[in-house]
Chain A
Amino acid sequence: MVDIDLSMVNWARAQFALTAMYHWIFVPLTLGLSFLCAFFESIYVRTGNKEWKSITRFWMTLFGINFAIGVATGIILEFQFGTNWSNYSWIVGDIFGAPLAIEGIFAFFLEATFFAVMFFGWNRVSKKFHLFSTWMVAIGSNLSAVWILVANGWMQNPVGMAFNPETARFEMQSFLDVVFNPVAVSKFVHTSSSGFLFASLFVLSISCWYLIKGRHIQMAKKSIVVASVFGLLSSSYVVFTGDESAYVVAQKQPMKLAAIEGLYKGQTRAPIVAAGILNPKKQTGDDQDPFLVKVEIPYLLSLLANRSLNSFVPGIDDLVYGNEQQNIEGVASKISKGKTAINNLAQFKQARKENNTQKADISLKKFKENQEYMGYGYLNKPEDAVPPVAIPYYAFHIMVALGSLFPVLFAVFLFYVLKGSITQKKWLLPIGLVSGFLGLLAQESGWAVAEVGRQPWAINGLLPVHMSTTNLSAINVQITFFMFLGLFTILLAAEISIMLKQISIGPEEGH
């Protein structure tokens, strides 16, 4: 029998969050900036105007800096899988092997060929082939992101697999089910479009800085036109993909939806909380009001969750303690079934050791009856199935508020830049300048919604986080946590300093 060191689990969790959130600064910028470079270059190739070439090369340089600093930061996550999360990495190895291998191969060939042409090929290859390479980098980078999101989507909604009790692994039964998992699909479209949005804000932000300083005005205006059009389209699309994401979450991870809305008691014709402050004393199952103050929009949560104004949306209490009227099974019953499944699995293992085929077959049959509840068997009490509500709640509302603001911002910038009066709008330029940081905040908030909101699960319903870790002492993870903190701080400082220097040089000499 083994005892899990919970402080180790929390340090491993913190380390993973630190690495993933740091990695997540670079990824969305790469996804979006690659397309913006392709747009700038397309205009250059179409018009033959050298100014567009200069603009393309400038943004391509910033894309290169972001890529160079960000590249391989995701590999650290894989180190952590092997060391801190060995149970998890063994259990999911068969599922994740294919998508991650495809992602690795894709990235390698992309980087070795088209990236080289993109950066070394000016004046060495034809204009059209260079443009083709830039587009391939944009398309390839985004396709590369598909696979990691397929893996993440599977963790949120495990499909297309079967658990093999002999090997203790989930084995893939249908590659197509894994790839076209609704959570993976909605994740990809929402994540990539939010990356386009963030990159557009990044371009807007730097262009506004030039306008404030009165430098490179034509380049800044042209960049704002392209970024505003792309930003307006992608931010409008993000609203739709966000709606689809919320719908999928409601269907597949109702506890996450309840947490991000701070909904404890389920409701028919449920309103959405537009803004509100959570009551910090609120506990699952008590009668306290979950909010100190809130502003609601009637019916909207029911519409969002079920596409029906009159539908019932379960709250945390319904999901934890059950709701007979709505046919929702409580967690206590699932814990009992989960423990039965785990005990049957243990008996199966013992019977195999003893070469007792008959006993093994009976145990296996019993295990299969309850295996879908296996993860619940590792929880100690029903309330353990509830994620920490405050983080996903506030992160979700920050993300949605900013996501609603961005289309308006892009529309205003596009209007004034096309009107030719953008430089006179002194009040607007500082807003544009800070918009890049707001974009980053929205990105990181989105990550927190997705990952904190699915706690306590590493694999939804099947494996909680605390059972996914390696049986290590907390001190081992603490040491590497602070090492990463140091490394990431240095790398981030390097990126910011190189980028600022390059921005200060500007488009003409920036290559």
Chain B
Amino acid sequence: MTFQTIKKNNPIKAVNTIFGFYRDGFRGMVLGKKLWAIILIKLFVMFAVLKLFFFPNYLNTNFITDKEKGNYVLEQITMDTTKTNQNDLINTKPKFK
């Protein structure tokens, strides 16, 4: 099977050719099989373990609408900024050269 089939402008044959290309490619792999196994295990660990159990999206988990998420973040970034004593800032002596 070659890519010459695609040139004949037959969509079904073209799809078969492309499918066969990938199928034979995967079948013919030697080192590639080990690498694909690593990729699949890695993706499984990432998505089925880490993402699912350890990395929930905080905002999506706790809020439904974008408005709720926006309000929450707005609350976070307008939280207490008075921890700094304004007098400390005023008393910071600029060291002009």
Q: Give me the interface of A with B, judged by CB distance under 8 Å.
A: 1-3, 61, 64-65, 68-69, 71-72, 75-76, 79-80, 82-83, 86-87, 89-91, 116, 119-121, 124-126, 129, 165-169, 265-266, 285, 317-318, 321-326, 330, 332, 335-336, 339, 342-343, 345-346, 349, 377-382, 463, 467, 470-472, 479-480, 483, 487, 491, 494, 498, 502, 510-511
Contact = CB atoms under 8 A, between A and B. Distances in A.
Contacts of B79: 1-2
For the complex of A and B, list the 7 residue pairs with the smallest distance between their C-beta atoms, beginning with the closest.
Answer: A120-B25, A82-B57, A68-B35, A346-B78, A79-B55, A86-B58, A168-B74
B42 interface: yes
Interface string B32-51: 10111011001101100011
Most buried by B among A80, A82, A90, A483: A90
Contacts of A380: 83-84
Interface string B1-36: 011000000000000000001101110101110111
Given A91-B73, A166-B70, A380-B84, A79 B51 contact: yes
Contacts of B51: 79
Given A76-B50, A79-B55, 12 more contacts: A61-B31, A65-B35, A80-B55, A82-B55, A83-B58, A91-B73, A116-B22, A168-B70, A330-B92, A342-B78, A470-B58, A480-B55
A326 B54 CA distance: 50
B92 A480 contact: no
Q: Chain B, interface size: which category?
A: 35 or more
Nearest to A343: B81
Given A120-B22, A321-B93, A479 B54 contact: yes
B80 A382 contact: no
Interface in B48-66: 50-51, 54-60, 66
B38 A69 contact: yes
B97 A266 contact: yes
The majority secondary structure among interface residues of chain A is helix
B29 to A, nearest CB: 8
A498 B34 contact: yes
Given A1-B79, A321-B94, A335-B84, A124 B38 contact: no
Given A83-B58, A86-B59, A487 B80 contact: no
A305 to B, nearest CB: 17
Interface string B66-97: 10011101111111110110101110111111
Contacts of A498: 31, 34-35
Contacts of B81: 339, 342-343, 377-378
A483 B22 contact: no
Most buried by B among A68, A129, A285: A68
Contacts of A3: 80
Contact of B96 (A325, A335, A349, A463): A325
Contacts of B88: 381
B80 A381 contact: no
B69 A124 contact: no
Nearest to A266: B97
B70 A82 contact: no
Contacts of B75: 2, 349
A452 to B, nearest CB: 24
Given A119-B25, A322-B94, A330-B94, A342 B54 contact: no
B35 A168 contact: no
Contacts of B80: 1-3
Contacts of A65: 31, 35
B51 to A, nearest CB: 6
